[in-house]
Chain A
Amino acid sequence: GAVVSQHPSWVICKSGTSVKIECRSLDFQATTMFWYRQFPKQSLMLMATSNEGSKATYEQGVEKDKFLINHASLTLSTLTVTSAHPEDSSFYICSARDLAGMGETQYFGPGTRLLVL
């Protein structure tokens, strides 16, 4: 099946620093990628929809200047958490929709656990 990777798998950083998370579709092209965050024992919360070559669409309540998304190619989207604070600590998950398929199935990355001290 299709594979989506995320890097890094976990990161610990100091408050005020910026952290970049990469999401790659390894064996398919993805015009659309989605970024989620998940708090412990909760469901996924969609943060933004990332479209290749255009600006991301952010969900209500998600600060676009705080969570910068870049989808520069059909296989790579990045999420940068700028000036991270402890409340940004969370599990961040990306997913990608296969351009070639019917697009019904999203393939998920393994997630990135962020801890801001």
Chain B
Amino acid sequence: SQQGEEDPQALSIQEGENATMNCSYKTSINNLQWYRQNSGRGLVHLILIRSNEREKHSGRLRVTLDTSKKSSSLLITASRAADTASYFCATDAADSNYQLIWGAGTKLIIKP
């Protein structure tokens, strides 16, 4: 099931620039997670931010969470060609029995 909206649907930037993707959701959550999927491949877990956290960093990734607006953003700094992939947000809703609810995804293309 999907509850998340992600924008933009597609993003194309030059290598070295920063990429920002946004995710909105509808219900109360325990946490929100970001995943990366290379074309035709499985998903790679990037980062998890809990509902009581506002910002989290992991390497070149920075995630923010605004529970009042039910939104999150993923910032990738100093992008590289290898960052080209689809990025999905997924929420662990408060009463979901650990089921993840997925956004539609953002297709990120990094031009060399």
Contact = CB atoms under 8 A, between A and B. Distances in A.
A67 interface: no
Interface in B70-107: 88, 92, 97-100, 102-105, 107
A105 B45 contact: yes
Interface in A70-117: 91, 93, 95, 97, 103-111, 113
Contact of B104 (A43, A49, A59, A103): A43
Nearest to B105: A43
B31 A104 contact: yes
A91 B41 CA distance: 9
Contacts of B41: 110-111
Given A44-B88, A46-B1, A103-B98, A108 B43 contact: yes
**In the complex, the 10 A-B pairs of residues with the closest C-beta atoms, listed nearest first:** A110-B42, A108-B43, A43-B102, A111-B42, A43-B104, A108-B42, A44-B102, A43-B105, A97-B98, A104-B31
22 contacts: A43-B88, A43-B102, A45-B1, A46-B1, A46-B99, A49-B97, A49-B99, A91-B40, A93-B43, A95-B43, A95-B100, A97-B98, A104-B30, A104-B48, A104-B92, A105-B45, A106-B45, A108-B42, A108-B43, A108-B44, A109-B42, A110-B41
Given A44-B88, A95-B43, A108-B43, 13 more contacts: A42-B105, A43-B104, A46-B100, A49-B97, A91-B40, A103-B98, A104-B30, A104-B31, A105-B45, A107-B45, A108-B35, A108-B44, A111-B42
